[in-house]
Structure 1
């Protein structure tokens, strides 16, 4: 384990609107407001056919390929994530969420595009005074958090 201590900076409250997309909307907001790192909380509705990463095709593979699923209908959702700048100083959101419809639940990463259905509430807690950022891991190709 590696660690970097941080302090809380600004706090933002966002109301996403119908058709806004995760992670794009939050990353654009972070860029506009010069947020380099944050904890992100999400609560709201997700549109039918939103794409969710539900794991790798094969966990031990040399090249990791994501398994995607589309939401079968409008879903209730709750998620938590982190936002850190990458090596180009561009904010990148890593947010996992659970999406429920009836008795079915899908849990996964929003990086492929989740569209908001009418309601999207987001709290962003900016993190300051630390050394963490995302860097490309040559083995996986992922932008991993380096502290």
Structure 2
């Protein structure tokens, strides 16, 4: 385990309207406001969602198991933003539900809001952290004490 301490910086509330892409909207805000590190909470609904709902097999690096949804679902999510190759990357785990059925996974690709999705974004200040790709793991975990040049 490794950790760093930081402070909450700016606070943003983002409304993603019907038909807008959720991840694209969060990324656009991060780019516009130069947000390098943040924690986020999300609630609302989506019309289309693409989730990685686990690894296909118990192996590292993992091969993603994809699930796509093309009808409106209620959603709730929690995630973060960290720089990777000098660009903000959103890592957002989402629970989707519809008609008594639920799925949880990592939201990726295109995800269209239905009616409205609301996001609370808490910027993190006072700590160095970036994402760096690790070929052995097959993804980019958070690395502390490093700055993007």
What is the correspondence of 1:87-126 to structure 2 with a 5 Å cutoff?
88-126=85-123
Q: After TM superposition, which residue ranges in structure 1, 4 or more long, deviate above 6 angstroms?
A: none
Equivalent residues in 2 for 1:1-147 (5 A)? 1-48=1-48, 50-60=49-59, 62-71=60-69, 73-86=71-84, 88-147=85-144
CA–CA separation in structure 1 for the residues paired with 2:12 and 2:34: 12
Matched residue pairs, number?
144
Cα distance between partner residues in 2 of 1:107 and 1:34: 29
1:88-135 per-position Cα deviation (integer Å, ceiling 9, x unaligned): 210001010100001100110112332111111001000011011111
Contact 1:52 1:114 in 2 (8 A): no
- CA drift of 1:73 comes to 2.2
Using the size of structure 1 for normalisation, the TM-score is 0.92
The gaps in structure 2 that reach 5 residues or longer are 145-149
Uncovered stretches (5+) of structure 1, i.e. residues with no partner: none
Contact 1:80 1:97 in 2 (8 A): yes
